[in-house]
Amino acid sequence: MAFKFEELRVWEMAISLSAEVNVLIKTFPLEERFVLSSQFQRAADSVALNIAEGSTGQSTAEFKKFLGYSIRSGIEVISCLYLGKKRGIIYEEDFSKLYTTYESLIIKIQALKNSF
């Protein structure tokens, strides 16, 4: 593997979760395409993208800053889950599964950030 982030389990987990979000938002009604769907996918993608961006060629302080951005994007995903649930377009099973998995990912990213 050529890049440091490719060896990080949190990055791999974030990539997988972003794919899961993509599958979920495809079930949303068309009127949500440029509203919640777009924001949801961008937040999910941003978790992985910030891990990657911060890990390569950056100082430890910069990497920690980008891990913080990644955590914030994960929190944004959780908020999107709540919005979707409130609007009746995310069902409890999908909500619970993604909520629990993102919560775990955020904890792991925080642990990585604290390990420096």
pLDDT in tens, the chain (116 residues): 689 999 999 999 999 999 999 999 999 999 998 899 999 999 999 999 999 999 987 799 999 999 999 999 999 999 999 999 999 999 999 999 999 999 999 999 999 999 99
Domain count for the chain: 1
Q: Which amino acid is at 81?
A: L
What is the domain-level CATH number for residue 40? Answer: 1.20.1440.60
Predicted local distance difference test score (pLDDT) of residue 46:
98
Q: Is 2 inside a domain boundary?
A: no
Q: Is 43 within a domain? A: yes
Spatial distance between the Cα atoms of 26 and 114, rounded to a whole number of angstroms? 36
Q: How many other C-beta atoms lie within 10 A of the C-beta of residue 31?
A: 10
Per-residue confidence (pLDDT) for residue 57, from 0 to 100: 77
Helix/strand/coil for 56: coil
C-alpha 23, offset from chain centre: 14
Q: Is residue 1 in some structural domain?
A: no
Is 96 part of a structural domain of the chain?
Answer: yes
* Identity of residue 77: V
